[in-house]
Every structure is written in C-alpha cells, then in structure tokens.
Amino acid sequence: MNPSLPQLSLNEIAERLQGYDPQALSASHVNAFLAQLVQPVREQETVALMQAHGRILAVDVISPISVPPHDNSAMDGYALRGVDLPAAQATALKVVGTAFAGAAWQGTVQSGECVRIMTGAIMPHGLDTVAPQELVQIKDDTILIPAGLLQAGDNRRLAGEDLMAGRPALSAGTRLSPAACGLLASLGLPTVQVWRRPKVAYFSTGDEILSLGEAPREGAVYDSNRYTVAGMVQALGCELIDMGVVRDEPEALEHAFRSAAVQADAIITSGGVSVGEADYTKAMMKKLGDVAFWRIAMRPGRPMAVGRIQQADRSALLFGLPGNPVAVMVTFAAFVRPALQQLMGWQAPELPMLKAKSTEALRKKPGRTEYQRGIVGHNAAGELVVSITGNQGSGVLSSMVQANGLIVLGHAQGNVAVGDWVDVMMFDGHL
C-alpha cells in the first residue's frame, strides 16, 4: 500500500467532493470519488522481459547505455568527411577500406579518401557523412559523387540518438507495450521491475442466474456477466479469481464476500444492487464493509455499490455492478476500468474519444450521461459516422457485440440531430 496516500473512509471522500449526492451522482463525480478511494498495489516483482508484456513498470528506468552506442551508418555506401564535399562540383574520393557492421574499422583516412561502409557499421574516426551507394559512380578505386545531392552529416546515426546513457528511458507507471519491451531489450535489460498484478475476485448474484451446464428452467437466465467481466478484467492485465454464481442467501453471500476479501485486492459483483431489490446482497455488503449505494445519473447502469469489504486486517475494494448485462459492461468501461488501472499503478493516458457524425436523431435528456452502442464507419466524404445498433435495451448483449464503440452523450447534452458530431469511446479490443 502506498504510504503517501491516506486511506480515506467513504464519508471523508464524500466530504471532499463538492455536490456529492449518492442519489443523483454524475459520471464525473463517480470517477472523482473512485480516484480518491483506490490505493494502488505497492508490491513489486522482478519479471523476465519476455514475460513482461502488459505489465506496469514499478520504477523509472534510466538508460545504462546509449542506443545506438556509436555513431554509425544508416545506409550501405561510402563514409567520408563532410568538409570534403565542395558546394558546386562533383566530388572524387579514393576508397581506402571497408567498414563492416559488428567491428570497428581501424584504419585512418586522409583528406580526399573515403571508406566503403555497411548499414550499422561504426563510422570510422573523423568521418561524419555517408554517400549512399546508389548515389555514386565507381571507377576502379575511386567514387564520384554528383554535386548538390549530399550534405555533411547525411545518413549518419548519432550515438544516443534513440536513448542516451544516464537519461530516463521509461517512467514508473508505464504499461509495457511491445514497443516498450523492445526498448528495454535494446538497453540490454533482461529483467524488469513491475507492480504485482491486482487480484480481482468476481461473482454473479441472483437466484434466477444459471451457471453454464445447468439445465434451463422457467424464469432463469444463464450467467453471462461472469464471462464479460472475466474478459474485461483479463484484458486489463489483472488476475481473475472466478467465484461462480452465489445464491441469494445470507450464508452463501457472507462466505463469498469474506473469502473474496482475504484473497483479492478488488471484488466485482453483479446484480442485487437495484433499488427495491428483495435480496440479501446489499444487506451483506453493508454488514461486511464500508459501502455506498449510488444512483448514478446515467443510462444504462444506474445503480452501483462501491466501497471496501473488510476481512481480518485486509480490505478489498468493492464494485457492486448492476445485473443487466449491458449495464455491467458500460459501468465497467466508465468506472471500474479506470479504477482498476489506478489499482494496477498504471498511469494510463486518457482514452481518446473519437468524434463521429450521428447518422440518426437520438433522443437524450440533459442531466444524465447516456452510453449508446454504436457502429463507427466512414461516409462517402471520408468523414467518420456512427449509427446505433438497434435495440438499446440494457439487457441486449447482441448490441454490444455488433458495436465497435460506445456513443457517450454527456451529462448536459440534449437531443442529437442527424449529422451532429458525437463522442465515441472506441472498444479497442477491451469490451
């Protein structure tokens, strides 16, 4: 746990937020609240670079070496002195040797001479320019470079132009992308310090929820939330503890929450947090932790429970998501995802929003944020356009499958006319 961040109670966080109203919370209030609630995981691990993809860097990495380590040639050609190039006439130079990649060429070069050089070979001492081989005419041991095609310094890579020894290469909180892993490899670093991956326990609640493999029965639906949540948690790079479907009985719920809280850094549940819900889920959350029940000014996904569940000397974050399958995915994308990124120690850049022209009129009430499933494409003019995926019911998962983004209609926004620009949060493989 990070000692620099005090662990605040929900009441203390609520007092810090202006206009906090748990019964009508804007989406931006939810994010501001969660940013104060979440304590990043603070245990480090050393992992082999080959296993580090997607992990979060725990330390600043300072380059131990320069990359490239020497000035070297960017082309196959002839290395020369830039001062030997006259401005207005062709240059003739005598070739006195060949520099190959992998070993320094040891000879010396006089004025009027050059060295044949391969891409990546160290620039011979005193030479600063490379004439690409396709530019020159060769006659016996002399090359002729036409006037005006080459300037001093051309086609030479400078030592440290990518990474300079002693300078920062990557900062703590960076997610190790393929490019970042390659960069660490270029520095010769076989291992890397990363934050431990958060463990996220998940279970579905509700007596009407069937696990896969159970026979269908009247009034019951198969548990889809466990599969969407598992996929979204794994796409972020957290570890998932799958706790199945939990019956709507006090003993079963208490056992599930307690065992989740001892194992996990965060617990995600779905179902049982709606207003007027005749079940035990909310009561058990209240009994076992410091939990707030919110009505968020959004659609879909209005009810949500947030807080901490205590067990022995540990506590785990709690995200009690609504039951409706689309609401689960939308509340995850809007709130849980940024909160888990913070838990991971990931200084995640904000998700870029796309602007696309709506192909249809959308009804929208100011005073709540709406997330509609959209398909983004291009029109004949090459502009980005977005259309909604038919039935926008909060239980209609097929609309999420067809969509490639969520149209985000902001809190204050009213109706959208055909051709209006709207914000779209693209899925990018994570939903």
Interface ranges with ligand AMP (CB under 6 A): 204, 206, 208-209, 221, 223-225, 270-272, 274, 277, 322-325
Q: Is the distance from CB of 265 to CB of 317 less than 8 angstroms?
A: yes
> According to the 3-state scheme, what is the secondary structure of the chain?
CCCCCCCCCHHHHHHHCCCCCCCCECHHHHHHHHHHHCCCCCCEEEEEHHHCCCCEECCCEECCCCECCCCEECCCEEEECHHHCCCCCCEEEEEEEEECCCCCCCCCCCCCEEEEECCCCECCCCCCEEEEHHHCEEECCEEEECCCCCCCCCCEECCCCCECCCCEEECCCCECCHHHHHHHHHCCCCEEEEECCCEEEEEEECCCEECCCCCCCCCCEECCHHHHHHHHHHHHCCEEEEEEEECCCHHHHHHHHHHHHHHCCEEEEECCCCCCCCCCHHHHHHHHEEEEEEEECEECCCEEEEEEEEECCEEEEEEEECCCHHHHHHHHHHHHHHHHHHHHCCCCCCCCEEEEEECCCECCCCCCEEEEEEEEEECCCCCEEEEECCCCCCCCHHHHHHCCEEEEECCCCCCECCCCEEEEEECCCCC
CB of 389 to ligand AMP, least distance (A): 19
- Segment interacting with Mg ion, rule: CB under 5 A, options 104-112, 232-240, 267-275, 300-308: 267-275
Q: d(Cα 114, Cα 136) in Å, to the nearest integer?
A: 12
CB nearer to ligand AMP: pick between 39 and 394: 394
29 burial type by CB count under 10 A (0-12 exposed, 13-18 middle, 19+ buried): buried
CB nearer to Mg ion: pick between 272 and 374: 272
> According to the 3-state scheme, what is the secondary structure of 233-275?
HHHHCCEEEEEEEECCCHHHHHHHHHHHHHHCCEEEEECCCCC
Question: Is position 303 an interface residue for Mg ion (rule: CB under 5 A)?
Answer: no
CB of 279 to ligand AMP, least distance (A): 7
Read off the amino acid at residue 313.
D
- Segment interacting with Mg ion, rule: CB under 5 A, options 199-207, 225-233, 254-262, 298-306: 199-207
Question: Is position 206 an interface residue for Mg ion (rule: CB under 5 A)?
Answer: yes
- Segment interacting with Mg ion, rule: CB under 5 A, options 17-25, 99-107, 204-212, 378-386: 204-212
Binding site partner of 67, from Mg ion, ligand AMP, none, Cβ cut-off 5-8 A by kind: none
- Segment interacting with Mg ion, rule: CB under 5 A, options 163-171, 264-272, 397-405, 413-421: 264-272
- Segment interacting with Mg ion, rule: CB under 5 A, options 94-102, 200-208, 255-263, 296-304: 200-208
CB of 319 to Mg ion, least distance (A): 16
Question: Is position 325 an interface residue for Mg ion (rule: CB under 5 A)?
Answer: no
CB of 353 to ligand AMP, least distance (A): 28
CB nearer to Mg ion: pick between 318 and 356: 318
CB nearer to Mg ion: pick between 208 and 242: 208
Of 85-104, which residues contact Mg ion (CB under 5 A)?
A: none
Binding site partner of 324, from ligand AMP, Mg ion, none, Cβ cut-off 5-8 A by kind: ligand AMP
Binding mask 152-191 for Mg ion (x = CB under 5 A): ----------------------------------------
CB nearer to ligand AMP: pick between 71 and 223: 223
Binding site partner of 223, from ligand AMP, Mg ion, none, Cβ cut-off 5-8 A by kind: ligand AMP
Binding site partner of 224, from Mg ion, ligand AMP, none, Cβ cut-off 5-8 A by kind: ligand AMP
- Segment interacting with Mg ion, rule: CB under 5 A, options 166-174, 201-209, 213-221, 329-337: 201-209
CB nearer to ligand AMP: pick between 8 and 230: 230
CB of 54 to ligand AMP, least distance (A): 27
CB nearer to Mg ion: pick between 124 and 272: 272
Total number of residues that touch Mg ion (CB under 5 A): 3
Interface contacts to Mg ion, rule CB under 5 A: 206, 271-272
